[in-house]
Structure 1
Amino acid sequence: MIDLLKEVARGKRGARDLNYEEAARAAEAILGLTASPVQIGAFLIAERIKLESVEELEAFVHVCRKYAHRTPQREGLDCAGPYDGRKISFIATFPTAFLLSAAGLPVTLHGADSLPPKWGITLQDIMFEAGIDIARHSREEAMLAASESDVLYADAQKWCPPLGGIRDIREEMGMRTIFNTAEKLVDYGCSPYIVFGIYHNTVFDRLARLLIKLGYQKALIVQGVEGSEDLYIDRPSRVYTIADGQSSLDIIDPESLGLDIAVPEVNWTARVQLMTAEAVMQGGGHLAFYNQTLLNSAVRLHLAGKAGSVEEGMYICKALLDTGKAWDVYMKWKSSLRGCQTAAQSPG
């Protein structure tokens, strides 16, 4: 590890990018904990200063995948949002997952307990409020729920144990590292489609080249709400669409689709997130969050070829929301996981 550190830690001007083989060696040393905590921290900080190259990111993703439990699902969509959570916005990707499933598109969600730098509300926090303690569920139970609902949730630190092994180091560092990107691309369901959230538009090109290298059939990179994969509902969102090995910049404007609406100020907690999502899935709730779920679902449905246009996707998804089909899928998923939990708690 020391020889690799010498290359990436020479300062902003002297540092060089590692080639794929070197980066893979570094990832192996970190995830295998053969490097010391000091070496791991130094490497991650040096990469943060230098900025990760496409080859380095690709190597780290592949090494993460090597140690992960990856189970091919029916051809579906991977929703790759930030593991450090959200603080000031609605997590529309949660109800969107069940709406997409109701429309015939299987979905994989994944995450972990909150991480730096944001330490926000996570999908697992919302699930806990719904009575699902994901830490108590096996991968087999998650897959059973997916078989009944076409929505898979993967607890990253259970499905890729080495990520759990370096959690303490990441918490002590308290900053973004290369793993904030790599962990979102493990692709537990082996999906041909992905929607991936970013914060800064300066990484659009790098991430587009990475997703092309990773072989996704189609991908959407979204400069979304709080760096998430969620499109804004109160203003346009910049996106990169990737298909056939090519990428193109686009703007998705909710106003042009008749959906633009002011977002109310909300004191978000995990409980409020759950209540808002459940209201939307039952065809109600505040119009801003209903529309945001509708927009994100329609765009993702179109990306995966399940709708001929975003407008058609909106028509399909609105009917599924208003008739309770998305709610039915959610209840199947929730009942499966809670049923496993209850069985595990029963004596004898």
Structure 2
Amino acid sequence: MIKEAIKKIVDKKDLYYDEAYAVMNEIMSGETTAVENAAYLAALSTKSSGMETIDEIAGSAAAMRSHAERVIHEGMEVIDIVGTGGDHSGSINVSTTASFIAAAAGLKVCKHGNRAASSKCGTADCLEALGVNIDQPPEKVREELERVGIAFLFAQRYHQSMKHVGAIRRELGIRTVFNILGPLTNPSHPECMLLGVYGDHLLRPLARVLPTLGVKRALIVHGMDCMDEISIGAPTKIREIVDGRENAYEISPADFGIPIADKEAVRGGSPEENAAVTRGILSGEITDARADVCLLNAGAAIYIYGTAPSIAAGIDAARRTIADGSALRKLDDFIKISQ
């Protein structure tokens, strides 16, 4: 199938959902060669349209999900707060910090992530520096969700089939469909998402893809200063999905009384430095732009999960978790239960 797909793309034709699924299934099964994989990924990345179609993304994501180790969470609706990466901002770990705040506000957060790719510090790197044991089996993840309300799924553990393309992705050195697929292939199959994307051209397609993956409520966001999260340096474009209904709008930090700040104000560093920032924000010791951006994103997550009636109310709820100490306790409880 992969050879036929490559030829079709080279002939400037898009793949159908079933074709994209079949090719990704072959790749994840190890049935294709390294040369075929490289040719396919490069062909998709250099399409004249500039990006993969909705069918190509959805089919690829569904196939990749089918090869992941599944995490069952019956009776619990979970959210993932995640970004595609690739924005080259080098920021602090916003989604990681926001996840602890959201969990302290009562959300069940099942965060899916990996080590750094385009930055100095990925989610896994930051959590490890905080003292979290990141290699957790599915039964432990469920226990963490039930008892603490937050869990982490280390992508390298749950997506063993990625071994067939890891080296090729590094050698190609270009953005491929896998940059988009990472956030779409959380093994817990979350019903709710706050998904940050590196380009606004991804907002509409991913708003159509997420419902095919069982996502009922989502905010797909792009900071207009090229941030893959809700930004405090510029307005943020948003596509909101609620039970199949889609709405597009923009928000600005000023809408919530948050001062505009340059991206440099939220720049991160090493895993140890970012871990210290996360703890500082959760403890209330850090109250500058770094805290603001995490509160803004946590507030949006609290809203789309259904716990708050608006993003503004979500931000208020997020602030309370820091003021009453529950955000920091959530971090410490998670570190303890992960051991």
- Would the TM-score normalized by the shorter structure come out above 0.5? yes
Offset at residue 85 of structure 1 (A)? 8.5
Matches within 5 A, 1:32-181: 32-50=29-47, 51-73=51-73, 74-82=76-84, 87-115=89-117, 118-132=118-132, 134-135=134-135, 137-181=136-180
Question: Structure 1 residue runs of 4+, over 6 Å off?
Answer: none
- In structure 2, the CA distance between the partners of 1:221 and 1:203, relative to structure 1 (3 Å rule), is same
For 1:299, the equivalent position in structure 2 comes to: 300
For 1:343, the equivalent position in structure 2 comes to: none
Comparing 221-230 with 52-61, which one deviates more in the overlay? 221-230
For 1:282, the equivalent position in structure 2 comes to: 283
- In structure 2, the CA distance between the partners of 1:124 and 1:255, relative to structure 1 (3 Å rule), is same
1:146–1:333 contact (8 Å) kept in structure 2:
no
Q: Tell me the distance in 2 between the aligned counterparts of 1:142 and 1:85.
A: 29
Q: Tell me the distance in 1 between the aligned counterparts of 2:103 and 2:44.
A: 38
- In structure 2, the CA distance between the partners of 1:86 and 1:221, relative to structure 1 (3 Å rule), is same
Q: Tell me the distance in 1 between the aligned counterparts of 2:228 and 2:184.
A: 13
Residue identity in the other structure for 1:134: I
Residue identity in the other structure for 1:61: A
CA RMSD of superposed structures (Å): 2.1
2:225–2:231 contact (8 Å) kept in structure 1:
no
Residue identity in the other structure for 2:220: I
Q: Tell me the distance in 2 between the aligned counterparts of 1:121 and 1:308.
A: 33
1:108–1:188 contact (8 Å) kept in structure 2:
no
Equivalent position SS for 1:169: helix
1:2–1:39 contact (8 Å) kept in structure 2:
yes
Equivalent position SS for 2:240: strand
2:44–2:52 contact (8 Å) kept in structure 1:
yes
Equivalent position SS for 1:152: strand
2:17–2:58 contact (8 Å) kept in structure 1:
yes
Matches within 5 A, 1:193-208: 193-208=192-207
Matches within 5 A, 1:163-312: 163-224=162-223, 229-263=228-262, 264=265, 266=267, 268-312=269-313
Q: Tell me the distance in 2 between the aligned counterparts of 1:228 and 1:142.
A: 29
Offset at residue 150 of structure 1 (A)? 1.1
Q: Tell me the distance in 1 between the aligned counterparts of 2:33 and 2:198.
A: 31
Residue identity in the other structure for 1:29: E
Offset at residue 80 of structure 1 (A)? 2.7
Offset at residue 211 of structure 1 (A)? 1.7
For 1:342, the equivalent position in structure 2 comes to: none
Q: Tell me the distance in 1 between the aligned counterparts of 2:40 and 2:225.
A: 26
For 1:346, the equivalent position in structure 2 comes to: none
Q: Tell me the distance in 1 between the aligned counterparts of 2:116 and 2:299.
A: 28
Offset at residue 253 of structure 1 (A)? 1.1
Q: Tell me the distance in 1 between the aligned counterparts of 2:6 and 2:288.
A: 51
Q: Tell me the distance in 1 between the aligned counterparts of 2:321 and 2:231.
A: 21
Equivalent position SS for 2:337: helix
Offset at residue 295 of structure 1 (A)? 1.2
Offset at residue 83 of structure 1 (A)? 5.6
TM-score (norm 2): 0.90
2:197–2:228 contact (8 Å) kept in structure 1:
yes
Q: Tell me the distance in 2 between the aligned counterparts of 1:250 and 1:163.
A: 35
- In structure 2, the CA distance between the partners of 1:336 and 1:227, relative to structure 1 (3 Å rule), is farther
Residue identity in the other structure for 1:317: A
2:191–2:216 contact (8 Å) kept in structure 1:
yes
